Amino acid sequence: MKRFYRHLCGAVAILVVAAVATTLTIRVGVAHASAAETAPCAADGVTRTDEALARSLNAQLVKGMPGRISGYQASCARVIVQEVRARGLDRRAAVIAVATALVESDLNNYTQVVDDGGAGLFHQDVGPRQGHRRSMLDARRATDVFLDRMQRLYPHGSWHQPAIDEVSRRVQGSADTREHVEQDVAAQRVVDAIWPAADPT
């Protein structure tokens, strides 16, 4: 019986240590992501309209999104929507692009590689060349790169047919279905709020 209790205590101790280590790992990962620097998305910075939009959206968004959108993130979404409109594409294209940016960066224009992927709004490969890095950190240019690939993979507007998450995952080369699906509703609400006032000029 004593031997049994010794084994039981040892197993519990191992589980406790593993749980603590996992918690510390998660916290370090979160700290790393939150400490990552971001670049401005909009040339005019974060406007009062962006701040108001963020407050409005945070009262509507679901599935873990409430309170997560800042004025800065709203400005990044605004730039994406403006670029979609400047290219003459419709609201669905904007929803696909915003949904992808929500999954990849939480609408943060990261200046450095975060996690195990790329940087910027769409987690694109910034590459070793400084010129290419600056290009990918330009929110408009990064949006164009995403839209270019989407239109190559789905020519003649065929990206209207599949589900939003399917298009997003194929363009990004992602296999994580769950996370993409969860952001579709949020992206639709973000775009619906921005689209009428988005001025591509």
Q: Which long-range contacts (CB under 8 A, 24 or more apart) does 166-172 make?
A: 167/96, 168/96, 168/99, 168/100, 168/103, 171/96, 171/100, 171/146, 172/100, 172/103, 172/104, 172/122, 172/123
Q: 87 forms bridges with which residues in the sheet? A: none
- Are 119 and 106 in contact, with CB atoms under 8 Å apart? no
Chain Cα centroid distance, residue 85: 20
What is the amino acid identity at position 33? A
201 pLDDT tier (thresholds 50, 70, 90) = low
Would you place residue 51 in the very low, low, confident or very high pLDDT band (cuts 50, 70, 90)?
Answer: very high
Bigger pLDDT: 169 or 7? Answer: 169
* 56-77: average pLDDT: 82
Can you give the pLDDT at residue 70? 93
Query: Which of the residue ranges 143-147, 165-169, 177-181 has the most confident prediction, judged by mean pLDDT?
Result: 143-147
Q: What percent of the chain has pLDDT over 90?
A: 47
9-25 tens-digit pLDDT: 444 443 333 333 333 22
Find the helix packing angle between 139-153 and 91-105, rounded to 10°. 110
Determine the pLDDT at residue 33: 45
Enumerate residues 6+ apart whose C-beta is below 8 A from 86. 200, 201
> What would the pLDDT profile of 91-148 be if each residue is shown by its tens digit?
999 999 999 999 888 999 998 765 555 778 998 765 544 445 566 789 999 999 999 9
Q: What is the pTM of this model?
A: 0.76
